Structure 1
Amino acid sequence: MSTLQVRELRGGYATAEEIVKGVDLDVAPGDLAIIIGPNGAGKSTLLKLIAGLLKPKQGSIALGDHVMAAGDAQLACRSGLSFVPQERNVFGNLTVLENLEMGGYVLKTEVATRIEEQLVRFPLLRKRLKDKAGSLSGGQRQVLAVAIALMTNPSVLLLDEPTAGLSPAAADEILTMVQQLAQSCLAVLMVEQNALLALEYGSRGIVLVAGRKIRDENAADLVADQEIRHLFLGGGKKN
């Protein structure tokens, strides 16, 4: 059974708006599912609808056997879903430790234990605990943003363009980290503009065009598909 189940999801930023137009998808533990598509396809909007930051016009979102209330981000978080936005995903004026404490805000107990788990998982953060998050490099901030999201021990992690603005080396490090999280039986759904690179790390690729899912298959198969490469991955067709 998939951890995340999305059925006939429709919605946008206004009641009458439909940017996402009837999307179905499933993400299971161990999946690293990469959403790709042209600008304006509704990729980030889809993540926000799933995360409860936007209220769907239609459709359902379930985590396991539990159907989520529409547009309730706090409930989604408490139920096992964490979302890392592309921007403003850390508190720049707070220390790394304070950021992790904020990530555990909804927890009643075990905050210190969860912080220690993140420091073991991401050793670089231990060295920067007293530093302001705003002083971290771009890649380090993304690691911290993911660590904050993992404080609630989610079953599903949503990532919106985690490599945006990073150097190629830093992007590789972040994608390796995300791949390892998925391999630890976390279900990961990620939007990435650097589609070709992301699909090299992902297990599945989901192609979104004009708010509709047109492909959902093995990531390696999408990379090898010449039509997909031509349209979305920056590669030309072979003669």
Structure 2
Amino acid sequence: MTLMRIQGLKGGYGGEDIVKGIDLALDAGDFAVIIGPNGAGKSTFLKMICGLVNFHSGSIEMDGRPLTGGQALSASGIGFVPQEFNVFPSMTVRENLEIGCYLKPRDVKRRIDEQLARFPLLADRLRLPARTLSGGQRQTLALAIALMMAPRVLLLDEPSAGLSPVAASAMFDTVSQLSRDGIAVLMIEQNALAALAIAQRGIVFVMGQKVRDAVASDLVLDPETRRLFLGGQPETAHL
């Protein structure tokens, strides 16, 4: 059974449709990356799924049940890591993790322990304010917060933005492992080649519409996609 199904999603800001009728389905363990030019509606699309931007047409379902804007995101089985403002800088690492578990405070210690086992670098920084962390460490904390409620669908908006190549590679490795563990991942990423190298599916957005949805490796080798979005890599481009 399809885990998440999105049909005919339309909406945007100020009466203007930024997203223009997107269909998309995710099963458990799927790893799909959305690429496309700036202004294509990628981030708006994720925010619509999360209830942060209203849509006037279409539907979003989890396990065959419609999601409504009033539902708590994490209670619906969805975790979201926005590109910016994804941690509370003045709060400690532990306090940030606790916020991620606000719906089930009785489970907070166990859930924090799970994330520290997954991300050992956070263990030595629990008492530090999040603002003292490096860029890669902040992104790790943001991801850990989203995982505190054990989401079945994980939405990531530019997780490698501002990271060093080493930190970005580590982030991609972590996300790949989460997908192998059965979490459905839908990720927006400007580093298209690196993202397509680890994803199963590649989805191309242009002007608010989905124009391609294919096996990631096929998109890398597709001449038109390569010319428009991947820097004109030669025919021999590989993953």
* TM-score normalised to structure 2 length: 0.95
> CA-to-partner distance for each residue in 1:6-27, whole Å, 9 max, x for gaps?
000001123x220000000011
Aligned counterparts, 1:1-239, within 5 A: 1-14=1-14, 16-69=15-68, 71-72=69-70, 74-236=71-233, 238=235
Query: Between Structure 1 and Structure 2, how many residues are aligned?
Result: 236
> Can you give the 5+ residue segments of structure 1 that lack an aligned partner in the other structure?
none
How far did residue 169 of structure 1 move? 1.2
Q: Tell me, what secondary structure is at the counterpart of 1:208?
A: strand
Same amino acid, percent of matched pairs? 56
Q: In structure 2, what residue type is equivalent to 1:143? A: T
Q: Is the 8 A contact 2:158 2:188 kept in 1?
A: yes
Structure 1 runs of 4+ off > 2 angstroms? 74-77, 235-239
Q: Tell me, what secondary structure is at the counterpart of 2:38?
A: coil
* CA–CA distance in structure 2, aligned partners of residues 77 and 8 of structure 1: 23
How far did residue 140 of structure 1 move? 0.8
* CA–CA distance in structure 1, aligned partners of residues 111 and 82 of structure 2: 21
* CA–CA distance in structure 1, aligned partners of residues 26 and 232 of structure 2: 27
Q: Tell me, what secondary structure is at the counterpart of 2:126?
A: coil
Q: Is the 8 A contact 2:179 2:185 kept in 1?
A: yes
* CA–CA distance in structure 1, aligned partners of residues 82 and 151 of structure 2: 16
* CA–CA distance in structure 1, aligned partners of residues 142 and 157 of structure 2: 11
* CA–CA distance in structure 2, aligned partners of residues 19 and 208 of structure 1: 11
* CA–CA distance in structure 2, aligned partners of residues 188 and 44 of structure 1: 15
Q: Is the 8 A contact 1:68 1:76 kept in 2?
A: no
How far did residue 237 of structure 1 move? 5.1
> CA-to-partner distance for each residue in 1:36-94, whole Å, 9 max, x for gaps?
0011000000000011111111110011122101x33x423211111110001001111
* CA–CA distance in structure 1, aligned partners of residues 235 and 81 of structure 2: 37
Q: In structure 1, what residue type is equivalent to 2:193? A: L
RMSD: 1.3
Q: In structure 2, what residue type is equivalent to 1:112? A: K
